[in-house]
């Protein structure tokens, strides 16, 4: 899904040879450098860095320093940068709109966002992405009425909104860092974009959930045969898992973090409370969809830093009771990474999903 916030006069639609995409997480900044090579894309480099500050809004100057540091870490070969807009900073929703040109759709959305997005969003920018109509299964020539349960005069559209100020700050910070701001993409869309490319058949055919476990939040998206059916944010992430472990073991947060990432087997019971609470919330999100649509979510595809731990994924599986797996968001990319990065990509991969999906939207 090529959803962007088109505030940059469509500059991102120019074909760049190389692009940088940055996922400014609450805990960790993840960035990738992709290069276009004919029909394929190559992953040239990635970077993981501590986020500049937690809990506080970042100033354009601080953001500029950070963007500069990220671009340097990626080798300084590209100045075109796209950024993921965090879960709290972007509104994303699937809606239906009349079949009108995209420009008009954005205008309609801007004028009627209270109706379509069900909240008042003053000083926001809006974007739309038209979801291509579902392909019919081979041999089935007539459209399924159940699937085309909307009048043919409507498009299914993914709508997004973000504060104008956020957009302005990003443009300003990129400029200060001698970079060019190409696009902003809702972080929620990152895993969806990457998934569509990594597992196109599953994306088009199945009903699955994409779960991204972050630092403070976890996002759950149910994808039903290529469409975003529901999305939800849960206020549990790696932070709470570490805090819970610290409490259970009566040790400091920093110690607990070290032990968690090291994954000594004895931490399992200490992790249980938080991880199972997260699992229950994810299960509840799936239940919500399943009851509403009378369709089962067959698989749960997980990404985010916490899914680097096999133990956590296993625990979630036992609570969610659907097949839970991590997946490789780099599988459709040509890997052109320097030595050590090439060795570590399998470990780091689950944490780069949003950054990779953001880069795809910018291409």
Binding site for ligand ATP (CB under 6 A): 25-28, 86, 214-217, 237-239, 242, 257, 260-261, 304-306, 308-309, 312, 351
Collect all residues with Cβ–Cβ distance below 8 Å to 77 and sequence separation of at least 6: 18, 33, 44
* Binds 124: which of ligand ATP, Mg ion, none (CB < 5-8 Å by kind): none
Please, what is the minimum distance in Å from the beta carbon of residue 238 to Mg ion? 9
Residue 25 engages Mg ion in binding (rule: CB under 5 A): yes
Place of tokens 């020539």: 141
Please, what is the minimum distance in Å from the beta carbon of residue 86 to Mg ion? 7
Please, what is the minimum distance in Å from the beta carbon of residue 4 to ligand ATP? 19
95-102: long-range contacts, CB 8 A cutoff, minimum separation 24: 95/156, 95/157, 95/158, 95/159, 96/150, 96/154, 96/155, 96/156, 96/157, 97/128, 97/154, 97/155, 97/157, 97/159, 98/153, 98/154, 98/155, 99/153, 99/154, 99/155, 102/128, 102/130
What are the backbone angles phi and psi of residue 158, rounded to the nearest 5°?
A: -95, 120
Collect all residues with Cβ–Cβ distance below 8 Å to 14 and sequence separation of at least 6: none
Please, what is the minimum distance in Å from the beta carbon of residue 328 to Mg ion? 17
Of the candidate spans 8-16, 22-30, 109-117, 220-228, the one that interacts with Mg ion by CB under 5 A turns out to be 22-30
What are the backbone angles phi and psi of residue 329, rounded to the nearest 5°?
A: -75, -5
Angle among Cα 304, 353, 295 to the nearest 5 degrees reads: 80
The Cα diameter of the chain in Å comes to 63
70-89 binders of Mg ion (CB under 5 A): none
From residue 210 to residue 249, what is the string marking binding to Mg ion with x (rule CB under 5 A)?
Answer: ----x-----------------------------------
What are the backbone angles phi and psi of residue 110, rounded to the nearest 5°?
A: -60, -40
User: Closest CB to ligand ATP among 94 and 233?
Assistant: 233
Of the candidate spans 127-135, 140-148, 206-214, 251-259, the one that interacts with Mg ion by CB under 5 A turns out to be 206-214
Residue 190 engages Mg ion in binding (rule: CB under 5 A): no
Please, what is the minimum distance in Å from the beta carbon of residue 343 to Mg ion? 23
Please, what is the minimum distance in Å from the beta carbon of residue 24 to ligand ATP? 8
Please, what is the minimum distance in Å from the beta carbon of residue 191 to ligand ATP? 11
User: Closest CB to Mg ion among 35 and 212?
Assistant: 212
What are the backbone angles phi and psi of residue 30, rounded to the nearest 5°?
A: -115, 135
User: Closest CB to Mg ion among 128 and 211?
Assistant: 211
User: Closest CB to ligand ATP among 6 and 238?
Assistant: 238
User: Closest CB to ligand ATP among 97 and 355?
Assistant: 355
Interacting residue ranges for Mg ion, rule: CB under 5 A = 25, 214
């Amino acid at each position: 899904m090529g959803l962007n916030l088109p505030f940059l006069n469509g500059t991102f639609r120019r074909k760049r040879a190389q692009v940088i995409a940055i996922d400014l997480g609450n805990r960790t900044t993840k960035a990738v450098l992709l290069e276009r090579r004919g029909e394929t894309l190559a992953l040239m480099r990635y970077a993981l860095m501590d986020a500049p500050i937690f809990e506080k809004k970042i100033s354009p100057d601080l953001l500029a320093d950070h963007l500069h540091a990220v671009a340097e870490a990626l080798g300084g070969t590209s100045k075109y940068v796209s950024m993921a807009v965090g879960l709290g900073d972007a509104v994303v929703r699937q809606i239906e709109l009349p079949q009108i040109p995209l420009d008009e759709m954005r205008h309609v959305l801007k004028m009627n966002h209270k109706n379509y997005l069900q909240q008042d969003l003053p000083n926001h920018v809006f974007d739309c992405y038209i979801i291509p109509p579902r392909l019919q299964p081979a041999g089935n020539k007539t459209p399924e009425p159940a699937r085309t349960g909307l009048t043919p005069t409507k498009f299914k559209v993914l709508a997004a909104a973000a504060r104008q100020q956020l957009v302005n700050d990003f443009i300003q910070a990129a400029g200060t860092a001698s970079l060019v701001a190409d696009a902003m993409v809702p972080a929620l869309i990152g895993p969806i974009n990457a998934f569509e490319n990594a597992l196109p058949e599953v994306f088009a055919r199945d009903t699955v959930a994409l779960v991204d476990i972050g630092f403070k939040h976890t996002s759950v998206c149910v994808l039903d045969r290529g469409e975003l059916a529901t999305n939800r944010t849960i206020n549990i992430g790696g932070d709470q898992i570490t805090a819970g472990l610290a409490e259970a073991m009566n040790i400091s947060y920093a110690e607990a973090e070290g032990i968690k990432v090291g994954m000594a087997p004895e931490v399992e019971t200490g992790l249980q409370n938080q991880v199972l609470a997260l699992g229950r919330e994810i299960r509840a999100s799936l239940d919500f969809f399943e009851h509403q649509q009378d369709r089962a979510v067959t698989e749960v595809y997980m990404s985010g830093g916490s899914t680097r731990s096999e133990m956590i994924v296993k625990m979630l599986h036992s609570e969610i009771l659907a097949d839970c797996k991590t997946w490789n968001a780099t599988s459709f990319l040509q890997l052109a990474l320097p030595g050590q990065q090439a060795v570590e990509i399998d470990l780091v991969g689950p944490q780069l999903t949003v950054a990779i999906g953001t880069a795809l939207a910018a291409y």
